[in-house]
Amino acid sequence: MTAHIRPVCAVWVGMVCLVFCSRLSGMKAASICGNAQAECHFLSLANLFDRVIQHSARMHGISNDLHSEFELYFLPSKNQVSRVGRNCHTSNILTPNGKENAQRIEREELTEVIMKLLAAWRDPLWHFHQSVARNHRFNGYGSNKSLEMSDMAHELRKGVQKVVEKMQTLGVISNSVGGLASPEALLAADGSGWRFMKDSDLLYCFRRDSNKIQNYLKILKCRIVPEHGC
Amino acid sequence: MKKAEGVIILWWLLFFTLHAEGTSYSLPGKPTLTNCRSPEKETFTCWWEPGSDGGLPTTYHLYYRKESSDAVHECPDYRTAGKNSCFFNKNDTSIWINYNITVVATNARGSTFSDPVEIDVVYIVKPNPPEKVTVNVSWNKSWPSLRVSWDPPQKADTRSGWITLIYELRIKLEGEDKWEEHPAGQQKMYNIYSLQSGGTYLVQVRCRPDHGFWSEWSDSTYFKVPDYFPQERSIWIIIMIFSVFIFLILIWAIHMNSHTLKHHILPPVPGPKIKGFDKQLLKSGKSRDAFSSLVGSDFPPTTTNYEDLLVEYLEVYIPEEQGLMLEEGKDLHDGSLKSKSYTSDSDSGRGSCDSHALLVDKSEEEKEVGQKSNQQGGRTEMDLKRPEESPEENILNYSHANVGSPDVSCEKVKTWPSLFSPLTENSSGPLDQPDSPEMAKQHCLSDSLFPPSPLSSPFAPPGHKEVLGSNYQEYSFGNMHPHVLHPQTGSHQYLQAHGNMNVANIGHKGVPADLQLPPVRSTEYVEVQKVNNENMVLLYRVSSDAEKGCPGRRHTEEYSRLKGVNNDNGLLLLQRMVSEEEMNICPYEDQESSGLTDSGYTTSTAQKSTAYIPPATQVLDERVAGGYVDTSMFTLPIY
């Protein structure tokens, strides 16, 4: 009995190893990055886009919640007249207001717009969070949301930066697209008009801008990598 | 007066104006914007609800103002979207810009403005329902799988990423009311499982943008599920087969172990285990035959250890003077006793006092002898196997004389030809007149009185004497006093003589106290219990109890220990002392000498109550005749 066990065990172990090795190799073939470098790069770019788009969608959701909550508790009158005079500090950034406009504009320009928007909102969001935490206007929920919103905006900026770099390495867009250190971005960020905005207006403006960012990213993705989920 | 007239006129005018308004026209009612919707985020439409028209034809105008400019624009298209609507085309639509829209109702009387509404087109998107909902049936290993697929609404541009739509479908069986909803995400197809075979289903799909409103449900698409064999039934079949298989295995296992199971559950009834019992006979109905086999030859069992039932009585003579004894023995032999003794059969094992006749004869002779003291003494001496002192013999004679008719009834007394005790003769006397047959059943102690004096002291502890106080008139045991034998002819019928050293106490009931007899050498009967493995004959004293039977022989306790064999090939036996208990209950003689087998030695155990171990008797081989030891040949040292 024992004499038979050893060879049987060895055979069994060998078979298991073979199975695993085959599976591993199969998995390699089915990995994200295949043999072709171009495929692998594009696949990863689409993946990056998806992640960024999801991130921006989430950010927009938070801003939407905060805005509605703010209006519910702090502006029950819903006086629409006052809103007309509202002016976001990012108004100076030229953004396409329609589909045709967005499709007509170049990828680099669109990318830059995204970058500008994200850059313009870094400081105001942080400031808004500080204001909310200091004044205790919102409850704990609001305070956490504002902080989360600020962090997400910051991370989204970095993520978009990575996507831009990826696109530039792939040659999808030219290298003329400025980074965070571009003058336009700096100008946009330097504007201090946002300090005089009311919190309600700030939330309103950010909600819109986050929607723009999300939409622009989607357009960009479907323009660059249309075959993956567009 | 003037004032009153003025007031009246004023009131009259007021009344007229009021009356004129009630019946005349008025400003239109305030319209309200109900909703604005954009189907693809490129155009949008607003609808309003007009108020009362005021009786006059009223026109409605929609004016809007964009967020960043103050220019007021009017609705470009009032017709496309129907009545009381305003359609904004692509050119007029700007996304991410607030529109301030107001509807104005105007009639001849005036205009009425509606409440302004601010909208952002991004948040009023309500797409059209999905289109081309199709159901495809595909077979997968006899399983039909249904795939519902659709297209996004035509106007919604999802390909450019302008709009991202999320879909949802619902399905129900035809005729039912409850829908089964399934969210589909952003995919444009959906697989449905677990549908009824042959059923007709309805399916509908709707969509919505990521931040917008749900579209309307698409038109119902009917489809029929093809008939197929339900997998569940096949599973049940597999389960049934498996269970049947297991059941068969269980049956087989039970069958293999049926025997052991039967033993566990129904333990077998043990059959009768009686020797000689034939079950078959019982079964056949012949119960008489079945039981007869039990009663018949097997009982009394002959195959048992015969030696257990072997009862042998040995007369042990302890002659005080060997010469006398011998002489007397010779005389004795000359007597009829001898002949009779010779005629005595070697009835070993028989529990009856077969030697009654012999004993009677002896007793008669004893009587005759006893009449004459000398003769008695001689007789006794004759009987005695041992040489004893003459005075003792006299005593013996006396005892014999007094004994008269000693009642010794003991069936089991056996007299051997060489073993004879005078007392047995005496005792045989009473045998002539057995008081009761019951006596015969009891052990008989026929003892010959031995001169006790020299022997008494070593015999037994003085206590023995006391023990026997009530029952025995005078009993000296182990002392030098003469033992008294007071045989009585009473009911006791036991004559027990105290033997010599190796002779245990002799209890006499009803022995007259006044009779002082020297210790008489007496022959004692011992009963051979059995012959053990070492060729030892186990003896034990025969005890006689007048009123009650001896409770039983103490087979295992009554035997003489062999001290040794002297030079003359004589057995040296140790006198065994009887315990007090035994003396009380069943007084009997301790046997110092016993019957001898061919090569066996008799051993007698020393009594615990006895400190003294009397010297053993010597057995003379030449006296041994027929396997029996003639105690008369024994020579007991007298202490």
Q: Do B96 and A212 touch (CB under 8 A)?
A: yes
Report chain B residues whose CB lies below 8 A from the CB of A216. none
Strands B111-113, B536-541: pairing kind: unpaired
pLDDT score for B29: 84
Helices and strands in chain A, H and E counts = 9, 0
Q: Do B211 and A60 touch (CB under 8 A)?
A: yes
DSSP H/E element including B173: strand B165-173
Which residue of chain B is at minimal alpha-carbon distance from A220?
B161
Determine contact, residues B537/B597, Cβ cutoff 8 Å: yes
Which of A80, A84, A100, A230 to mutate to probe the B interface, most B CBs <10 Å?
A84
Distance from CA of B179 to the nearest CA of A (A): 29
CA–CA gap between residue B185 and residue B478 (Å, rounded): 126
Token pair 């199971």: residue: B261
pLDDT score for B488: 43
User: In terms of Cα–Cα distance, which of B340, B496, B489 is closest to B429?
Assistant: B489
- List residues of B whose CB lies inside 8 A of any A CB: 41-42, 65, 67-68, 90, 93-98, 100, 116-118, 120, 122, 157-162, 164, 186, 210-211
pLDDT score for B168: 93
Q: Do A211 and B122 touch (CB under 8 A)?
A: yes
Report chain B residues whose CB lies below 8 A from the CB of A59. none
pLDDT > 70? residue B349? no
Q: Do A208 and B122 touch (CB under 8 A)?
A: yes
Distance from CA of A25 to the nearest CA of B (A): 29
Task: State in words which class domain B32-120 has.
Answer: mainly beta
pLDDT > 80? residue B70? yes
Strands B44-49, B59-66: pairing kind: unpaired
pLDDT > 60? residue A48? yes
Which residue of chain B is at minimal alpha-carbon distance from A224?
B160
CA–CA gap between residue B49 and residue B72 (Å, rounded): 21
Distance from CA of B161 to the nearest CA of A (A): 5
The length of chain A is 230
DSSP assignment of B506-547: ---TT--TT------B--EEEEEEEE-TTSEEEEEE-B--SS
The minimal CB distance from B96 to the residues A208, A222, A226 is found for: A208
Confidence tier at B138 by pLDDT (50, 70, 90): confident
pLDDT score for A128: 87
Token pair 């066990």: residue: A5
CA–CA gap between residue B335 and residue B316 (Å, rounded): 19
Sign of the Cα torsion B75, B78, B83, B86 reads negative
Q: Do B211 and A100 touch (CB under 8 A)?
A: no
Question: Which stretch, B120-134, B222-236, B261-275, B401-415, has highest mean pLDDT?
Answer: B120-134
Determine contact, residues B636/B501, Cβ cutoff 8 Å: yes
Report chain B residues whose CB lies below 8 A from the CB of A223. 160-161
pLDDT score for B419: 42
Summarize the confidence of residues B371-389 as an average pLDDT. 44
Adjacent-strand bridge partners of B37: B45
Strands B387-387, B320-321: pairing kind: parallel
Confidence tier at B88 by pLDDT (50, 70, 90): very high
Distance from CA of B145 to the nearest CA of A (A): 25
Summarize the confidence of residues B594-598 as an average pLDDT. 39
Q: Do B96 and A219 touch (CB under 8 A)?
A: no
Confidence tier at B485 by pLDDT (50, 70, 90): very low
Residue B447 one-letter amino acid:
D
Strands B312-316, B320-321: pairing kind: unpaired
pLDDT score for A6: 82
- Cα separations (Å) of A41 from A34, A48, A225? 9, 10, 11
Q: How far, rounded to the nearest angstrom, does the alpha carbon of residue B400 sit from its chain's CA centroid?
A: 70
pLDDT score for B581: 46
Confidence tier at B6 by pLDDT (50, 70, 90): confident
The four Cα atoms B323, B327, B330, B334 give a dihedral, to 10 degrees, of -170
pLDDT > 70? residue B605? no
Question: Which stretch, B219-233, B253-267, B587-601, has highest mean pLDDT?
Answer: B253-267
Q: Do B96 and A64 touch (CB under 8 A)?
A: no
pLDDT score for B562: 62
Q: What percent of chain B has pLDDT over 70?
A: 42
CA–CA gap between residue B41 and residue B161 (Å, rounded): 12
Report chain B residues whose CB lies below 8 A from the CB of A113. none
pLDDT > 60? residue A204? yes
Q: Do B186 and A83 touch (CB under 8 A)?
A: no
Give residues with Cβ within 8 angstroms of B440, minimum separation 6.
Answer: B352, B353, B409, B410, B411, B434
pLDDT score for B139: 81
The minimal CB distance from A98 to the residues B93, B158, B161 is found for: B93
Report chain B residues whose CB lies below 8 A from the CB of A226. 159
Long-range Cβ contact pairs of A96-100 (< 8 A, separation 24 or more): A96/A216, A97/B94, A97/B95, A97/B96, A97/B97, A98/B42, A98/B90, A98/B93, A98/B94, A98/B95, A99/B41, A99/B42, A99/B95, A99/B157, A99/B160, A99/B162, A100/B90
Residues of chain B with CATH 2.60.40.10: 32-120, 131-234
The minimal CB distance from B96 to the residues A81, A84, A97 is found for: A97
Q: Do B96 and A95 touch (CB under 8 A)?
A: yes
CA–CA gap between residue B22 and residue A57 (Å, rounded): 57
Report chain B residues whose CB lies below 8 A from the CB of A103. 160
Confidence tier at B310 by pLDDT (50, 70, 90): low
The ipTM (two decimal places) reads 0.78
- Cα separations (Å) of B286 from B280, B408, B560, B567? 9, 49, 52, 66
Strands B200-209, B189-192: pairing kind: unpaired
pLDDT > 50? residue B506? no
Fold of B131-234: Immunoglobulin-like (2.60.40)
CA–CA gap between residue B383 and residue B361 (Å, rounded): 13
pLDDT > 70? residue A199? yes
Phi, psi for residue B458 in degrees, rounded to 5: -75, -5
Mean pLDDT of chain A: 79
Confidence tier at B166 by pLDDT (50, 70, 90): very high
Confidence tier at A75 by pLDDT (50, 70, 90): low
Report chain A residues whose CB lies below 8 A from the CB of B120. 208
Report chain B residues whose CB lies below 8 A from the CB of A222. 159-161
CA–CA gap between residue B633 and residue A81 (Å, rounded): 160
Summarize the confidence of residues B35-62 as an average pLDDT. 88
Which residue of chain B is at minimal alpha-carbon distance from A102?
B162
Mean pLDDT of chain B: 65
Strands B536-541, B200-209: pairing kind: unpaired
Distance from CA of A106 to the nearest CA of B (A): 14
Report chain A residues whose CB lies below 8 A from the CB of B96. 95, 97, 208, 211-212
Which residue of chain A is at minimal alpha-carbon distance from B40?
A99
Strands B85-88, B44-49: pairing kind: antiparallel
pLDDT score for A175: 79
Distance from CA of A223 to the nearest CA of B (A): 7
Confidence tier at B141 by pLDDT (50, 70, 90): confident
Confidence tier at B441 by pLDDT (50, 70, 90): very low
Confidence tier at A180 by pLDDT (50, 70, 90): low
pLDDT > 60? residue B603? no
Q: Do A99 and B97 touch (CB under 8 A)?
A: no
pLDDT > 60? residue B491? no
- The structure tokens listed for A115 are 């970058």
CA–CA gap between residue B420 and residue B628 (Å, rounded): 11
pLDDT > 50? residue B486? no
Least confident of A92-106, A211-225, B87-101, B282-296: B282-296
